[in-house]
Amino acid sequence: MPANRLLIIKGNFLFMTKNRVRNNPHPEANAGVFIFISSVFTAVRGIALWWVWGWVAFLTLAPFFTQ
C-alpha cells in the first residue's frame, strides 16, 4: 500500500530530525517546516485519492450511460 510507504517515510523523517532538533536554538522554526511538509503530504494524498476514486467511479459507471 502506498499509504504505509508514506508512513514509513514520515517515520524515518521524524527519526532523522530528532537528533537535529535536540541542539536547535529555534525549535519553533522546525515545527512550522514540519507542519508545512505534512500539509503538502496530506494535500498530495487527497488529490491522488480523488483522482483514483474518480477514475474508478467513471470506469464502473461509464457502461451504464452508453448505448
pLDDT at position 35, please? 86
* pLDDT tens per residue across span 28-53: 777 788 888 899 999 999 999 999 99
Task: Please give the DSSP secondary-structure letter assigned to residue 25.
Answer: S
Alpha-carbon gap, residue 49 to 64, rounded angstroms? 23
The model's pTM: 0.46
Q: From CA 3, how far away is CA 10, in angstroms rounded? A: 10
pLDDT at 56 over 90: yes
For residue range 12-23, list pLDDT tens digits in order: 555 555 555 566
CB burial string 36-50: b at 16+ within 10 A, e below: eeeeeeeeeeeeeee
Distance in angstroms (rounded) separating the CA atoms of residues 4 and 2 = 5
